[in-house]
Chains A and B, each alone.
Chain A
Amino acid sequence: MTSASTSAVAAAAALFASTAFAQDKVTFEYWYGLSGQLGDVVQQTCDRFNASQDQYEIVCIGQDGYANAVQNSIAAFRAKQHPTVVQAYDAGTADLMMSGEFYPVHQMMADFGIEINWDDYFPGIANYYASSKGQLFSMPFNSSTPMLYINKEHYAAAGLEAFPATWEQFEENLKALKAAGQECAYGYAPSTWIDLEQFSMAHGVPIATNNNGYDGLDSEYVYNTTIHVKHMENIKLWYDENLLEIRTSQGGLNARDSFAQGECSHYFGSIASHQAVTNLVDGTFDWDVTMIPVYEGTERKNTVVGGASLWVLSGKSDEEYRGAAEYLKFLATPESEEFWSTNTGYIPVTKTGFDTLVSKGFYENAPYKGRELALESLTYTEPGPLTRGIRLGGFIQARSEWSNEIQAALQGEKTMQDALDTAVERSNAILSKFARTYRGKELP
């Protein structure tokens, strides 16, 4: 026997052994939307889970984007080939809730006798994914909130020290930076999540009636009547005065990369990018983050969670559900939370997870210093009816209506008020179509 054929037989035997071994385990699938470095870390959580026990095997498949993860799951669900667990983004929450095709995690954990201290979850995070009775439908996972990223060297060069707590101060700082010869003071890309949703939360103003959709399907958008209008008019003003520059991927460098390459002094982005910015800046300049500003005379409220949660879909076997429950339990351990928060910029979702990190001095030094501000922003006040979250159907389309109208206003085609009025009118049509599609049903 030659050595080549020996190794071939050995390989075949090994393959057989591993498949035989795998058959003893219960295998279930998990589809996730995160990609790039963040997707790699998701894959690592799966490997850690598989290594931690020998009863279940989770197969994690990246879908390259949140939208794809949801689309592909729907297509697979219709063909009855869907995964047991899917990562679905914040904005798709209402659509999933109305579908009813899921196994509420609160229920699932109780059915399998797994103890989870639900009160341990930060209310700003849990409320977003909970039923009207406050029970969690999906498991909070990657959670973030927006931050203002500041280039401290540009600040020093312009003689600035304090970070802006108000938009008025922010404007002053932009002017000071421009006066000091800074080319791009604020790298801006229109973002509903930051400019509209989180902005309205922090100011405690509604985005839509029915407490942002929580109290019924017959909601209507009202953001064209709130302080949001004033803010967007300011954005337009700053754009016209060259205080901000539009930075999108289509135009070359997006806002985050413009900041990380030291071109722009400010940028608003998710805390999840903290790790990526750290890697990109790589110590070439000094920077920090702070909470998003509010306008003078407003009482700051908490911001809400962004990111995604894990949904368990219906139509699977008990064994697969047990595996999924074990995986979710595994993710909820402080060790897993620490692993996740260290390797990404996402924040821990439980108080215990956060406290563990604090007691270890995690947030005291670079590169993790500053991330605790995201939690401060999320827990700034107790979530009230207007700051619990957003529960509006067809929200992805509504976001796109907003973005397109803002682009039109920035181009000078119409005034900001006109643009927002149109966006609201069109988004209301989407809402009523959504309500019509689910006629006779109620938000669970």
Chain B
Amino acid sequence: MRRAYFKNNWIAALVVAPQLLIIFVFFYWPSSQALYWAFTLEQPWGGGNEWVGFENFVFLLSDDRYWQSVRVSVIYALATTALAMGMALILALFADRQLRGYKSFRIGLIWPYAVAAPAIGLAFRFIFNPSAGVASYLNYAFPDIWNPVMNGSHAMSMVIIAGAWKQVSYSFIFFLAGLQSIPRSLTEAAAMDGARPMRRMMDIQLPLLTPTFFFLLVINITDSFTDSFGIVDTMTSGGPARATNLMVYKIYEDGFRGLDYSGAAAQSIILMILVIALTFVQFRYVERRVHYT
């Protein structure tokens, strides 16, 4: 196979330099700072710090509250990913079948991705409000059946639905693109052989979508670990009784509100390692199985 390459590496370096600089300033530099803080006890106003080795990590890993935060984060990540991808897939399959009005749906379904997380949080806070929102009709019919203010699992499901709603459009775009890249001749041939729409979905479209599916799985899980802050902050503030205290929110709480910079830095390092490991495992072991030629 022939490869295109620059004879002079300096040109290549020059071209990528601005991008590298941006990545360095906004990613590597803060990350290295966090890494350093994670191994020290940092005074918030910068009056000095002390090297403590793994003390911050030992403290975290022996803290049951931290594990509780990890647990709810995993639940949140799995549930939002399943919900968002499931919904997106169904919607994409129907948009792809070119039912009536599919063009307007296609555009309409992309919009939610452009809505900022706190705005989504506020909207859903109103919808799920037990006494004033849409969900209050539920409480009117069955008293005390819905109370996210005092009930942890109610609060969690509320946050999951809001988070999933935000992710649906992103997955939808990719699923739709994936479906449209499947050659029409395949589905048409199947149709001529008498396969009904359901059959064609199960046997042709879904198997051919697996690379897209895999890609979205990685993106969605990573996103729900790192991008859930705005929703939690506006909807529950991590409560009640820490039921929705996701890892990113806990980092914010401890670091910025509690001024425990070192503890928060150690938590971000763990979160970063977790996300890297997750992505690595998925690419290394899962991707092999989804290749087709």
Contact = CB atoms under 8 A, between A and B. Distances in A.
A410 B150 contact: yes
Interface in A377-419: 394, 396-397, 400, 403-405, 407-408, 410-411, 413
B260 A433 contact: yes
Contacts of B150: 246, 407, 410-411
Interface in B221-248: 235-237, 239-242
A437 B41 contact: yes
Contacts of B41: 433, 436-437
Contacts of A407: 150, 239-241
B53 interface: no
Contact of B43 (A248, A400, A438): A438
Contact of B45 (A99, A251, A253, A411): A99
A411 B241 contact: yes
Q: Is the interface of B mostly helix, strand, loop or mixed?
A: loop
Given A74-B45, A99-B44, A404 B239 contact: yes
Contact of A251 (B46, B65, B129): B129
Contacts of B254: 397
A429 B151 CA distance: 27
B65 A426 contact: yes
Contacts of A92: 259
For chain A, the bracket of interface size reads 35 or more
A100 B257 CA distance: 19
Contact of A396 (B46, B59, B132, B258): B258
Interface string B93-123: 0000000000000000000000000000000
A71 B258 CA distance: 10
Interface string B32-71: 0000000001111111001000000001000001000000
Contacts of A397: 253-254, 257-258, 260
B86 interface: no
Nearest to A414: B241
A74 B44 contact: yes
A26 to B, nearest CB: 25
Contacts of A360: none
A169 B125 CA distance: 37
A101 interface: yes
B259 A394 contact: yes
B133 A252 contact: yes
Interface string A89-104: 0001001101111000
A407 B41 CA distance: 31
A135 B259 CA distance: 26
A18 interface: no
5 contacts: A67-B257, A95-B44, A250-B125, A403-B239, A426-B65
Interface of A: 67, 70-71, 74, 77-78, 92, 95-96, 98-101, 246, 248, 250-253, 394, 396-397, 400, 403-405, 407-408, 410-411, 413, 426, 430, 433, 436-439
Interface of B: 41-47, 50, 59, 65, 125, 129-133, 147-152, 235-237, 239-242, 253-254, 256-260, 262-263
Q: Identify the 3 closest CB pairs spanning chains A and B, nearest first.
A: A99-B45, A397-B258, A251-B149
